[in-house]
Structure 1
């Protein structure tokens, strides 16, 4: 999962980043709310971890801005020194999903993050996932359309499965690059960007992702891609 963490305490920020990356998440860190707001206007994240007191704003105001300006309802976790009941009520009322009081305990952070992600994103079975005509077998990297196997490279399969698992979400280009190619690749390089476009184009063509087929893969100018269910298809994800 792709996480954004906001805190003006660099030691705390490093601890959050190291903790989340140790359990397999990509964590992007920000020390000012303005920087996070700019990122949210062009990037997509699966979870936000926010401090309350910041040099250029406060946590509840940031949460309200996110809820007003980010279409997808990304889960939000407060990690803050504010511990009074009225603070917790204010944070949750502003739109946060969970609240954790500093000093941060690593085990608790991991447990809360995992619980939030479980609630926000459906966990699909690892051996077979079906959307209408499309049957994915992740353990053997096989895709069938109407029962017939479709030839895809490893990255094309990973991209197709990731898109089907995230219907309706605006996925930024960098989000897709990190999810499919990982952090080993330089972010935002022209070569990787062209490779992403090539893979998206081939997946769209080979899988027939057109409205008349029930699904559409739309390009969102300057941001990324959105995979959409156009028609009600029988079966959903089984």
Structure 2
């Protein structure tokens, strides 16, 4: 199995001191943190790259954290956990954010140990399959036995090379989200690959072909230009129309 990559966390915070503290807490917990001081910059990044968790301030100079949350819940995988870090401590604000789709809410000032614990809890809750690299994985017609490194489709075994298996598991565990080329490189190969190399594209093509990732099986694997790939589970209407 390739090198395991750290979860990527996006932080929306316009106060430099708070942004620096959040980065320090996240990094100390073993996660990768990318800071954004404007909501529009975060939204642009979310269109192109995958994050495992979002930390949002409520009061921002452009779009509010509530508006960002509404966009995230309408356009991204709803399993992505979102946590508010805000000075707004009124009960109706907290209830409103949770009712709108936030998974957690912490009132500032930030308490580092508590923030790290809450982040860890949200990640474990949102991605239970990633808690153990050997945990079985089932999605649609597909079943992965990660301990024995076998995959079946409707009970029929499919032969994959070790790298193809690692790539397939990575894509299936991130179903609905963009998996960047850098993430694929680190997780499957554990080393840098030249941007000119066709290695990733070749392996993706083989995985798509061998697993039959098409509407008939309820899955679609599509490239995201210059960024990576996204595996999507099709709605019943799309599958029926195939």
Equivalent residue pairs, number: 223
- Whole-angstrom distance in 2 between the partners of 1:22 and 1:195: 33
Q: Cα distance 1:215–1:158, how it changes in 2: closer, same or farther (>3 A)?
A: farther
Alignment of 1:121-160 (within 5 A): 121-123=127-129, 126-131=133-138, 134-138=143-147, 142-145=149-152, 150-154=159-163, 156-160=164-168
Instruction: Answer yes or no: is 1:82 the counterpart of 2:91.
Output: no
Matched, 1:226 2:239: no
Structure 1's 40 and 178: CA in aligned 2 closer, same or farther, altered over 3 A? farther
Is 1:163 equivalent to 2:168 in the alignment?
no
Cα distance in 1, alignment partners of residues 144 and 81 from structure 2: 29
Query: Contact 2:220 / 2:234 at 8 angstroms: preserved in 1?
Result: no
Alignment of 1:22-101 (within 5 A): 22-68=28-74, 70-73=75-78, 74-101=80-107
For the 8 Å contact 1:217–1:225, the answer to whether it is kept is no
User: Tell me, which stretches of 5 or more residues in structure 1 are unaligned?
Assistant: 233-238
Partner of 1:8: 14
Q: 1:72 Cα shift?
A: 1.4
Task: Compute the RMSD of aligned alpha carbons.
Answer: 3.3
Task: Assess, with a 3 A threshold, how the Cα gap between structure 1 residues 160 and 98 changes in structure 2: closer, same or farther.
Answer: same
Distance change (3 Å), C-alpha of 1:95 and 1:208: closer
- Tell me, in whole angstroms, the C-alpha distance in 1 between the residues paired with 2:50 and 2:96: 25
Cα deviations across residues 125-152 of structure 1 (Å, max 9, x unaligned)? 54351545643334x7x33546868452
Task: Name the SS of the counterpart of 1:107 in structure 2.
Answer: helix
Distance between the aligned counterparts of 2:84 and 2:211, measured in 1? 40
SS at match of 1:100: strand
TM-score normalised by the chain length of structure 1: 0.75
Q: 1:100 to 1:183 in 2, by over 3 A?
A: farther
Task: State the shift of 1:184 in Å.
Answer: 7.2
TM-score after normalising by structure 2: 0.74
- 1:216 paired with 2:225, answer no
Instruction: Give deviations 1:61-86, integer Å, cap 9, x for gaps.
Output: 22223233x23112210112222223
> Is 2:111 the counterpart of 1:102?
no
CA 1:182/1:109 → structure 2, altered by over 3 Å: closer, same or farther?
farther
